[in-house]
Structure 1
Amino acid sequence: MNTLPVTLDAWFTRLEAMHPKTIDMGLSRVQQVKMSMQMAFACPVITVGGTNGKGSTCAMLEAILLRAGYRVGLYTSPHLLVFNERVRINGQMVDDAQLIAAFNAIEQARGDVSLSYFEFTTLAAMWLFAEAGLDAVILEVGLGGRLDAVNVLDADVAIVTSVDIDHTEYLGDTREKIGFEKAGIFRTGRTAICGDPVPPASLVEHAEKIGADLWLFNRDFNYAGDKQQWNFSGRGNRRNALAYPALRGANQLLNASSVLAALEALRLRLPVSAQDVRSGLATVELVGRFQILPGKPLVILDVAHNPHAAATLAQNLDNMGFHPYTHAVFGAMQDKDIEGVLAHLKGRIDHWYLTDLPLPRAASASELRDKILKMDDGLKEGDTEHSVQTFASPAHAFANALSRAGESDRIAVFGSFLTVAGVMEFRNSAQH
């Protein structure tokens, strides 16, 4: 009998070595372990899928439901600094001991079923939520929808925030193919919400084919607003004079509208007051989503890593007012549409600080430099107004950007969770 690890790090080492593939799409293994554990929820379950906006949508749902006094479980991925960020109960990250107990429970229940790291940890989060006796469970889909481990639960409400091109090797290379994968989280007779203003036909057709109750933006719910406040209208419910969400950015009202549509669908089981909505939206926090750090120069952290998110980042930068120079710390994964990301930021960045990332599938800083120089013919050798440099780590890149930026400038850190995490770690260590 092999003994089980007693620390979280030892558990992660074990999990990473346990299954031959990092990403292994399919539900049969997770379903088998879930059934053997008789894992079920009496409370409403909300799943949130989509290309971008999942994290913000989950954070707003959690904030409003907590304000309303409910006991809430939230599962998200990936994490920025510590794994515990992925599993929250009542707004608090679970501690190492809780995770170790959950890992022990899954290990004992799985028998000879081989689980990937993501499948194992997703089941552990579900087990913690089942044990905690919650009023609501919110689960962020890791990748796609139809074959993602989260989809072993039948959600009472499933939200697809947006559909764009990403993870093409798993989900297909068109919005129609990807829309079908995302729509896999919808269920017969249950509420299915799509916040994308131009939903793929495949998503709508799948929802109709299985008999889900589909809510579409601009048909079943929408918003209107001025500079001071905004209003939401759903099928039978209006919420007026709402403050803007504390999460900044051009697309947050779309995300907030999907959240309010979900809460309208659940109003008999999880009633929330206008004040709960206002307080929740006013206080919601989410690290690394157009997050502006206090101090000078201004630092913006944004995990934008596909063209759709980069377009939003560009729009948000444009809305910020004048800064003499914009510096960018950028690192990205090889399998992303890097040219598509860069195209949206062309002409907006004066100085690039490109970084290697600590993963084999990351693009190297020199590869990123070649793409930028090819794209932006305005960058010339010896030009003091513009520059492109390469660095071995996000910390080195950011330290250099800080040393060169004037106090009225701004530094945008984006391109990957690992880029943002590297800068956060550097800032944390500098403060201690």
Structure 2
Amino acid sequence: MQYQEALDYLYSRLPVFHRIGAKALKPGLTNTLRLCEALGNPQHQFNSIHVAGTNGKGSTSHMLAAVYQSAGYRVGLYTSPHLKSFTERIRLNGQPIAEEEVAAFVTANQALIETIEPSFFELTVAMAFDYFARQQLDVAIIEVGLGGRLDSTNVITPLASVITNIGYDHTDVLGDTLPQIAREKAGIIKPGVPVIVGETQAETIPVFTDIANLLNAPLTIADQQYLVEQDGVSEGLRQLRVRNDTAPTRSLSLDLTGGYQLRNVATVLATIAVLQPIWPVSIEAIENGLRSVVSLTGLKGRFQMLRQEPRVIVDTAHNKPGLEALFATLQTMSFASLRMVIGLVADKDRTSVLLTLPTSATYYFCQADSPRSLPAETLQAEAQVLGRFGAYYKDVNSALQAALQEASPNDLVVVTGSNYHIAELIDL
């Protein structure tokens, strides 16, 4: 098979979450373990850091990869979903897996795929682990897809387990209380393996503490170790002041300018500190990595500036806590009017998301070319009932074009709400 043939085969043959939602999930780790066993158990052939959480796990994974790359390590990075190309999911020192590698894996394992009938995500995880096992990595950063306990990535035994935060998302799968969701995320904690939790949350810390104690896993709470404060944005970099009890105040620069990244930086620094005896990292590597995350790892869609006058910012926030963090950053900015280009998937708790949106903005509702996407006309109608007004458009590019035509040079245009319609932006 050629690359496009291989992708077409996977999309047509396997259930895909970003197309059909939770119906694509195959509960349990059985399929992943069967795939890995047939491939020679690659998940045991490289060292890893496992990253879970409701929000911030993608940014945290990319930051960790950037720092370790800057320190001279050979770094694998597995994340999902992709925005533009499937190959974005599997990276080596920032470079996406070659299309020829994807085609060769699918061709060689077609009979295995048809015997096991895994989900798209299960197969992708197995592909990533097989690739990393052959690359003589120093470390692979593995981002959880959904939850943790039953996520396909949870067949590894990492050298550290990282949980960024807990919020309400995928409640139909993970539970409808924060402790329930925390318990699912805490499923990545392994016996004796250090665990780093990003944020102190009253409802969830007892869950992590109990499970860590039960498994004799040393627990670090990042925001109790590191205080990260912002010092404005200069030359496209978020300026940070970092304090902890064991070192003088340090200045850092971060090329991910969303204010919500401060809590992720604390998580990254705590993780690096815990793993310092295994993978030593200098202050210079931390500084260089954090100021160059985008160029080193290819991260897109995190408070990404597309243009000026009017400013256009793209952010993949897609749930209530993520959008709240986005709007907290927007409140620190000056602009004439706010114009929001937004699309949502149909299986979200849309009311809570819509109530998070500011009533003062002008809205441009759109939809993605995906069965999961909520029709733009439906989104407009539901938003209007809640006092959020605007027109609807057939896709994100026509919605953005309308916003730009109506915007003054001092306005701010924000594209957000769903990875899937952001992925369809022509200029991303």
Indicate whether the TM-score tops 0.5.
yes
The equivalent residue for 1:336 is 348
SS in 1 for 2:318: coil
| Worse-matched range after superposition: 70-79 or 247-256 | 247-256
In structure 2, C-alpha distance between the alignment counterparts of 1:291 and 1:305, rounded to whole Å: 15
Q: 1:369 to 1:229 in 2, by over 3 A?
A: closer
Identity of aligned residues (%): 33
Deviation sequence 1:35-56 (CA, Å, 0-9, x none): 2313244543001110100111
The equivalent residue for 2:216 is 211
The count of residues paired between Structure 1 and Structure 2 equals 407
The equivalent residue for 1:412 is 414
SS in 2 for 1:347: coil
SS in 1 for 2:207: helix
Give the Å deviation of 1:260. 1.3
Q: 1:298 to 1:136 in 2, by over 3 A?
A: same
The equivalent residue for 1:383 is none
SS in 2 for 1:422: coil
Q: Is the 8 A contact 1:187 1:210 kept in 2?
A: yes
Q: Is the 8 A contact 1:46 1:157 kept in 2?
A: yes
Give the Å deviation of 1:229. 3.6
The equivalent residue for 2:326 is 313
Q: 1:134 to 1:22 in 2, by over 3 A?
A: same
Consecutive unaligned residues of structure 2, counting only runs of 5 or more, are: 16-22, 232-238
> Is residue 269 from structure 1 mapped to residue 278 from structure 2 by the alignment?
yes
The equivalent residue for 2:401 is 399
Q: Could you state the TM-score of these two structures normalised by the residue count of structure 1? A: 0.89
| Worse-matched range after superposition: 78-87 or 258-267 | 258-267
The equivalent residue for 2:3 is 8
SS in 1 for 2:134: helix
Q: 1:15 to 1:45 in 2, by over 3 A?
A: same
Q: 1:232 to 1:92 in 2, by over 3 A?
A: farther
Give the Å deviation of 1:207. 2.1
In structure 1, C-alpha distance between the alignment counterparts of 2:415 and 2:24, rounded to whole Å: 27
The equivalent residue for 1:222 is 226
Q: Is the 8 A contact 1:146 1:185 kept in 2?
A: yes
Q: 1:28 aligns with which of 27, 30, 48?
A: 30
Q: 1:126 aligns with which of 120, 129, 140?
A: 129
> Is residue 358 from structure 1 mapped to residue 338 from structure 2 by the alignment?
no
In structure 2, C-alpha distance between the alignment counterparts of 1:261 and 1:232, rounded to whole Å: 12
Amino acid at match of 1:179: A
SS in 2 for 1:305: coil
In structure 2, C-alpha distance between the alignment counterparts of 1:264 and 1:61, rounded to whole Å: 12
In structure 2, C-alpha distance between the alignment counterparts of 1:281 and 1:232, rounded to whole Å: 16
Q: Could you state the TM-score of these two structures normalised by the residue count of structure 2? A: 0.90
> Is residue 233 from structure 1 mapped to residue 244 from structure 2 by the alignment?
yes
Consecutive unaligned residues of structure 1, counting only runs of 5 or more, are: 1-5, 380-386
Give the Å deviation of 1:226. 5.7
Q: 1:255 aligns with which of 243, 264, 269?
A: 264
Amino acid at match of 2:317: A
Give the Å deviation of 1:217. 3.2
In structure 2, C-alpha distance between the alignment counterparts of 1:206 and 1:105, rounded to whole Å: 40
Amino acid at match of 1:416: S
Root mean square deviation of aligned Cα:
1.9
Higher relative contact order (CA 8 A, sep 6+): 2
Q: 1:54 aligns with which of 54, 57, 60?
A: 57
Give the Å deviation of 1:213. 1.4
Q: 1:31 to 1:110 in 2, by over 3 A?
A: same
Deviation sequence 1:340-391 (CA, Å, 0-9, x none): 2222222341x11101221222211122112221111xx7xxxxxxx51011
Amino acid at match of 1:9: Q
